[in-house]
Amino acid sequence: MRVSIVIPCYRSELTLRDVVEGIFASLSQAPVVREFEVILVVDGSPDGTARVAHALAREHPEVRAVELRRNYGQHSALLAGIARARYDVVVTMDDDLQHLPEEIPLLLGPIGAGAADLVYGVPETEEHGVLRSAASRAVKRGLAMAGAPKAEDVSSFRAFRTELREGLAAVPDPYASVDVLLSWATVSVDRVTVRMRHRSVGTSSYTFRSLVRHAINMITGYSNVPLRLVTYLGLLLAVVGLVLAVTVVVKYLVNDTTVAGFTTLAAMIAMFSGAQMLSLGVIGEYLGRLHTRSMGKPTYLVRSDTGVVRPELEG
């Protein structure tokens, strides 16, 4: 099997060389891998990550360094690397030493056996804190709402047939999610259990807030569920209003009316006002997304590339 390994790189000056050396040490001895390349996509990192990536590209002909013009986000960096993959299978992994290169053959097993087009490496144990793990689960729920099969297994350690990228290149979207786009290309998805190392250098650039925002992006960018929920909320409040109106009329007819209290009135106004603001917020999120897409904001732009550029797949 010939494999292209795509690694989005951000603030990984201290770990990137160890990651690449681990890949060479593992895959050079793996019988399932006949040939491989490593594509390092530097996503506008402010430290010396780009320098290390270019140095590795000079030292190893199998390594390709791609530097983006600014920080576009992990999924945009992945798309830039996937577009440049030359081999039959793409493997994506992180740059922080948590994903073990020796586990890559496990990812390739179901693909080589013809059992799946897309395989996720699911860690034996979660290596994040409570808040980060909760946010990760929120992202997976967002993927499920966006229609991704087996969303609970999704991880950034994945392998898939390179031919699936044709479905990715057709979506020029600054909010792109690789996992949602892959779910549009195939439903042949499998999982393998992998070991995962604790992060020893630095902290993840994915905070609780950014992960929640990513989940919202996927839900509103690839699903109409929030709009349906707003519709259901409107129907529910309409029923509540009708029940209240009927109650008032009945009490009037049986001569059981009393002067409405301020507390009840304030509570009703707050409830209906909150529902209106929530509805406007959801609709505004969709309109804002449409506006951003209409401006033609690129998914990514490349500053430099040590390999051959494929302009037809540029974002």
Residues 270 and 125 in one domain: no
Is the model more confident about 180 or about 260?
180
Share of residues in the chain with pLDDT > 70 (%): 73
Residues 52 and 88 in one domain: yes
pLDDT at residue 314, rounded to an integer: 47
Residues 70 and 92 in one domain: yes
pLDDT at residue 284, rounded to an integer: 77
Kindly list the distances between the CA atom of residue 172 and the CA atoms of 85, 210, 237, in Å, as whole numbers in the listed order.
Answer: 18, 22, 39
With b meaning 16 or more CB within 10 Å and e meaning fewer, what string describes 4-34? bbbbbbbbbbbbbeebbebbeebbeebeebe
pLDDT at residue 261, rounded to an integer: 59
| pLDDT surpassing 70 at residue 171 | no
Residues 149 and 247 in one domain: no
Lowest mean pLDDT, pick from 20-34, 44-58, 301-315: 301-315
Instruction: Using the structure block, give the residue that is written with the tokens 């006949």.
Output: 34
Instruction: Using the structure block, give the residue that is written with the tokens 């047939």.
Output: 161
How high does pLDDT run on average in the chain?
80
Q: Does 276 fall in a domain? A: yes
Is the model more confident about 257 or about 198?
198
Residues 276 and 306 in one domain: no
Residues 190 and 280 in one domain: no
Q: Does 70 fall in a domain? A: yes
Whichever domain contains 99, its CATH number is 3.90.550.10
Q: Does 214 fall in a domain? A: no
Q: Does 248 fall in a domain? A: yes
Instruction: Choose from 52-61, 147-156, 217-226 the range with maximum mean pLDDT.
Output: 52-61
pLDDT confidence bin for 309, thresholds 50/70/90: very low
Predicted confidence (pLDDT) per residue in 108-161, tens digit: 999 999 999 999 998 887 655 555 555 566 666 665 665 666 667 788 899 999
302 with 80: CB under 8 angstroms? Answer: yes
Q: Does 165 fall in a domain? A: yes
Sequence-distant (6+) residues with CB within 8 A of 254 are: none
Instruction: Using the structure block, give the residue that is written with the tokens 């097993």.
Output: 109
Residues 269 and 163 in one domain: no
pLDDT at residue 157, rounded to an integer: 93
pLDDT confidence bin for 86, thresholds 50/70/90: very high
Residues 236 and 303 in one domain: no
Residues 201 and 246 in one domain: no
Q: How many domains does the chain have?
A: 2
As a whole number of angstroms, the distance between CA 16 and CA 9 comes to 8
Q: Does 194 fall in a domain? A: yes
Determine the average pLDDT of the residues in 171-200. Answer: 82
Query: Two tokens at 1?
Result: 């099997």
Residues 161 and 278 in one domain: no
Lowest mean pLDDT, pick from 83-97, 173-187, 208-222, 281-295: 208-222
Q: Does 74 fall in a domain? A: yes
As a whole number of angstroms, the distance between CA 13 and CA 95 comes to 9
pLDDT at residue 151, rounded to an integer: 65
Q: Does 219 fall in a domain? A: no
Residues 244 and 125 in one domain: no
Query: Two tokens at 89?
Result: 């299978």
Supply the range of the domain harboring residue 257.
225-294
Predicted confidence (pLDDT) per residue in 63-76, tens digit: 999 999 999 888 88
Determine the average pLDDT of the residues in 163-187. Answer: 80
Residues 48 and 179 in one domain: yes
pLDDT at residue 293, rounded to an integer: 67
pLDDT at residue 310, rounded to an integer: 45
Is the model more confident about 265 or about 56?
56
User: Containing H/E element for 269?
Assistant: helix 262-294
Is the model more confident about 222 or about 81?
81
